[in-house]
Homo-oligomer: A and B are copies of this chain.
């Protein structure tokens, strides 16, 4: 895609996703070239437009999201027009930065993969995080009977407030027995390495478990899939086709402007605290919605992180050459957001971080 189809966004907020942490650790399947600016979800205002952009005008409030792009954790970011969407006036920039990966994933899982039908019973296993809450909201909107799980009292309350018909504490030793009293047509699974074996016993005939996250291997009994002809499917936004992304984003845009899509922002970190946000999204116990890093007003250079290094280099960025604003020349390739310095050789992953390679990326 040439620069003439790109949108330059003055970023106000950057959504924080587990995938950001995996990339920073150098432990993700697809690593960007160095140097790079983290952040795949964001919201802000249109600052400049490529000559062929037709959907937007200057000063439009927008959100952007792309699993193949990055750069929202900075003062400015360019995204292709197809990855930029109008942000309804009923949502703040912080909320807008939580629309992309969480809601797109929930939609892809429930609609494009599970083909959810009105009246079906849905279990959102790990419902208090960004994708989980989005799945609860979307499940209600689709007319499903929604059951959630969470691990803390705060998380349980949040999932209930978000619209679940029933919520169980997955730290209660007896929760599985309670859950299984009535089985499910669809399970959205955030931690398959812990739950998948049990999920297979919780499905109705022709049930579908959609794996959104997993941090390792697990044991299952395939007989449980045979007896009721159920299915397990993986979902990852990055594999969606352009047509599928267009469908997802059109639905989520329509819905959030209609009012019922309301991301829960649990905490807003300052720009300087981005490293802490990337830590917390993985290691905090008991999610309660989304984490967001504020990006405006910009105090200084956006942080530049090096995949493969284990300590965030938020301060090291000051030693890089001054950041040039991206130029958008028709016919040129994607603008580079920093000077084209040769990236340092990639370090082999350290063993203590290997588990993260398999972490959930949404």
Contact = CB atoms under 8 A, between A and B. Distances in A.
Copies of this chain present in the complex amount to: 2
Given A219-B218, A220-B218, A234 B239 contact: no
Main secondary structure of the interface of A (DSSP, over half): mixed
Contact of A29 (B227, B232, B233): B227
A173 interface: no
A228 B239 contact: yes
Interface stretch (A10-18, A209-217, A343-351): A209-217
Most buried by B among A193, A196, A214, A230: A214
A212 B227 CA distance: 10
A208 to B, nearest CB: 9
A227 B237 CA distance: 10
Contacts of A224: 234
A205 interface: yes
A358 B221 contact: yes
Contacts of A53: none
A235 interface: yes
A79 B358 CA distance: 52
B217 A221 contact: yes
A48 interface: no
A234 B222 contact: yes
Contacts of A216: 221
A124 interface: no
B229 A235 contact: yes
Contacts of A37: none
A224 B232 CA distance: 12
B223 A358 contact: yes
A131 to B, nearest CB: 13
A278 B233 CA distance: 36
A217 B219 contact: yes
Given A229-B233, A229-B235, A233-B231, A220 B220 contact: yes
19 contacts: A113-B229, A193-B222, A196-B222, A212-B226, A217-B220, A217-B222, A218-B222, A219-B219, A220-B220, A222-B232, A223-B234, A224-B234, A226-B235, A228-B234, A229-B233, A229-B236, A229-B239, A230-B233, A231-B232
Given A217-B219, A222-B234, A231-B233, 5 more contacts: A214-B226, A220-B220, A221-B358, A231-B232, A231-B234
